[in-house]
Structure 1
Amino acid sequence: MTRSNSCVLLIDGGGSGARARLCSLSGDVLATGTAGPANISTDFEAAATNLLGLAHTVYTKAGRDIASFAQDYAFVALAGAGASAQRQELIDRFGFNKMVLATDIDVTLAAALGTVQDGLVAMLGTGSFFVWREQGKVRRVGGWGFILGDEAGGAWLGRELLRDTIKAYDGVAPSSALTQKTLDHFGGTPKKMVPFARDSKAADFAQFAPWVTNAISTDDPVAQRIVKRAVDHLCATLGPADQVPAQHLCFLGGLGRFYQSQMPADYQAICQPAKGEALDGAFWLAQQAFDL
């Protein structure tokens, strides 16, 4: 079978879930799909299972036999891929003709800026990371997980909400409708929060992020304080707005649009839309990697 009959599988995966697109080599979309969490550095087996299941799903939807893996290409970008010692094991499990395992940072940069534009990308999803590109040089900050960092990400927001709720319960910080809602969710006391926090992963904490962002529209004072802390972190990380490369700032991720609206005016003034979605960025990188 000739190369023209081959396809390319694109996957973008993170702590909250994974998205896939099966394309012809020219970029025509044949099928899409989604799956559960896919951070191979935090739970390799669960991520591998979700990713393989996702690949099988989109191949089935496209009416293409999974035996075609052997002649097809895959460009898979995952949170935690850069720190995982099991990169090759995952590649071997798929069995593609050629496969590149990249990081979510790689596709985020390509999706936001294309392959040549200078600028700064702020990726704010379950976690957070930031990438600068200037005159061919790329610098990354963050992406180390919410236990050690990931400030302003969804898991961080959820954890901050639980912390502020406990402080309100103890009477050492103000309460609000948001802290009461959170307290009620856990049965009226923080006692169930302790085992939740001990046993939960980033995605579990991130489920509370929309509670915080939605409460901003009601002027909830605790939500406002949490978001102010997040915005302060972002400003400190991004640096002065007038020093952003090419005056091109792009917010991405599930929380990107929200944070863009919360940033000081000088940052909002230099914000630009992304060139495409993450899977678009994956395809552009696949074109380079596989000479498509």
Structure 2
Amino acid sequence: MTDPIRYFVGVDGGGTSCRARITDINGHILGEAKTGSANILLGADIAMASIIDAIATAATIAGLNEESYSSMSVGLALAGAEQQSAWYEFMAQPHPFGAVTLNTDAYGACLGAWGGGDGAILIAGTGSCGILLKDSEQHVVGGREFPISDQGGGAVMGLRLIQQTLLAHDGIRPITPLAEHVLSHFNHDIDAIVSWSKSARPCDYGQFSPAIFAEAYRGDSLGIELLNQTAADIEMWMKALVKRGAEQICLMGSIAERIQPWLIPPMQQRVATPMGDAMDGALAMARSSHNLYPL
């Protein structure tokens, strides 16, 4: 006999971090925590470990322990869940929870942003994805993972920065303070950059995005160039959503939330303020838990 559900858990997992929020059945927040990457394309077992770690930490804050897991319905809004084989591989893993439902991080963010109703979001953190929920249908643009997609996300920004820094090292473009920042990070060892790139993950490239913003605001020409390109990428996704019927779009994620001043005015006018975040959306998923592939 399964235990009755007494807690709802929302988990927002991307390429850089995994956040968990536990509430009681009345929606009161009991605990929150943050751990490492939970992109299921980087490994279902790795993602599950991050998720359990985040929930365990949040549970400790809430005064709960492992005995409470079977009373938890968990909604997972995870990067990589749009790939069907990855979805099934992840869901085939054993877990200690009462119920688990899995959808994409973009879907969770959209549910949270629009209070569970119709609407559109463009999420750009380490990666990027746009989604429109309209008339019980999902319309998705992008989100096919780094490096073949995710334009407008931090990983692509970091990749472009590395590329341009190498050009600067070769004397093809000026070495700006931003390029110098990258070179100093690798102790001016180009071979070290090449070796690092062979195993670098999206979050490793994304770690350079704060420096891009900071140097761009100081007038660094490379930083400005990269942010203009990122803004153009995000405008591309926004226009695709508008074409599919979106009127207003919430910008969510560490990059999207900071790029708005760099957007052209017509796109700035399309930006809406989200009602909630991806963990709110994941909690909505937890309250209507099911185990069917959603796309």
Same fold (TM over 0.5): yes
SS in 1 for 2:139: strand
1:98 corresponding residue in structure 2: 99
2:55 corresponding residue in structure 1: 55
SS in 2 for 1:239: helix
CA distance, structure 2, for counterparts of residue 151 and residue 243 of structure 1 = 18
User: 2:132·2:246 contact (CA, 8 Å) conserved in 1?
Assistant: no
Structure with the larger RCO, 1 or 2 (CA within 8 Å, 6+ apart): 2
Residue deviations 1:40-90 (CA, integer Å, cap 9, x gap): 221222222222222222222222231222232111221112321412233
CA distance, structure 1, for counterparts of residue 129 and residue 63 of structure 2 = 37
Q: Which amino acid aligns with 1:17?
A: S
CA distance, structure 1, for counterparts of residue 286 and residue 46 of structure 2 = 25
1:73 corresponding residue in structure 2: 73
| Alignment CA distance shift 1:231-1:40 (3 Å) | same
User: 1:4·1:25 contact (CA, 8 Å) conserved in 2?
Assistant: no
Question: 1:215 Cα shift?
Answer: 1.2
Instruction: Identify which range, 145-154 or 280-289, moves more after superposition.
Output: 280-289
CA distance, structure 1, for counterparts of residue 265 and residue 241 of structure 2 = 10
Q: Which aligned segments of 4 or more residues in structure 1 are displaced greater than 4 angstroms?
A: 1-5, 240-244
SS in 2 for 1:180: helix
Instruction: Identify which range, 279-288 or 192-201, moves more after superposition.
Output: 279-288
Alignment of 1:31-42 (within 5 A): 31-42=31-42
Q: Which amino acid aligns with 1:214?
A: A
| Alignment CA distance shift 1:237-1:5 (3 Å) | closer
User: 2:238·2:267 contact (CA, 8 Å) conserved in 1?
Assistant: no
2:43 corresponding residue in structure 1: 43
1:203 corresponding residue in structure 2: 203
CA distance, structure 1, for counterparts of residue 165 and residue 16 of structure 2 = 24
Question: 1:164 Cα shift?
Answer: 0.4
Question: 1:32 Cα shift?
Answer: 1.1
Instruction: Identify which range, 21-30 or 46-55, moves more after superposition.
Output: 46-55
Q: Which amino acid aligns with 1:27?
A: G
User: 2:142·2:237 contact (CA, 8 Å) conserved in 1?
Assistant: no
CA distance, structure 1, for counterparts of residue 155 and residue 100 of structure 2 = 30
CA distance, structure 2, for counterparts of residue 145 and residue 109 of structure 1 = 18
| Alignment CA distance shift 1:55-1:171 (3 Å) | same
User: 2:113·2:275 contact (CA, 8 Å) conserved in 1?
Assistant: yes
Residue deviations 1:137-163 (CA, integer Å, cap 9, x gap): 321111122121111211111111110
Q: Which runs of 5 or more residues in structure 2 are unaligned?
A: 291-295
Of 72, 86, 89, 1:86 maps to: 89
The number of residue pairs the alignment matches comes to 287
| Alignment CA distance shift 1:127-1:196 (3 Å) | same
CA distance, structure 2, for counterparts of residue 29 and residue 218 of structure 1 = 40
Q: Percent identity, please.
A: 25
| Alignment CA distance shift 1:180-1:71 (3 Å) | closer
2:293 corresponding residue in structure 1: none
Q: Give TM-score scaled by structure 1 length.
A: 0.90
Q: Which amino acid aligns with 1:26?
A: N
